[in-house]
Amino acid sequence: QVQLVESGGGLVQAGGSLRLSCAASGRAFSRYNVGWFRQTPGKEREFVAAIRWSGDSTNYADSVKGRFTISRDNAENTVYLQMNSLKPEDTAVYFCAAPQFYYGEIDGRLTEYYYWGQGTQVTVSS
């Protein structure tokens, strides 16, 4: 089992950058694909990015391609989301998540994720 804790959120001006971290417990973390999702009040949680357990494959929502980069350091049990050129529409609570079973291919469908962090707030001012 996996426990996930997000951090790194905060207030930033449009055009700025933030790096979110997803710290995981569990010695099998390196075997799990990990996704980042975000949610704004009144909106459904949406896919942002995902990375394969091995780190050799990634996927991004069209809205963040070219601006966000997902990466992982399995030795540190941490997945990162580097967010550059932030826009006000990026404002949301960001969650990291992992599927119930490890290995496999990355998936952007939130229904494929089982373990979730508590979320970290990102606010981008105009």
Q: What is the pLDDT of residues 82-99, one digit of tens each?
A: 999 999 999 999 999 999
d(CA 22, CA 76): 10
What is the model's pLDDT at position 74?
Answer: 87
pLDDT digit string (tens) for 18-29?
999 999 997 788
As a whole number of angstroms, the distance between CA 5 and CA 79 comes to 10
| pLDDT surpasses 90 at 4 | yes
Structure tokens at 83: 């967010």
Banded pLDDT at 47 (limits 50, 70, 90): very high
Contact status, residue 15 vs residue 85, Cβ threshold 8 Å: yes
Instruction: Render the burial of 76-96: b for 16+ CB within 10 Å, e for the rest.
Output: ebbbbbebeebeeebbbbbbb
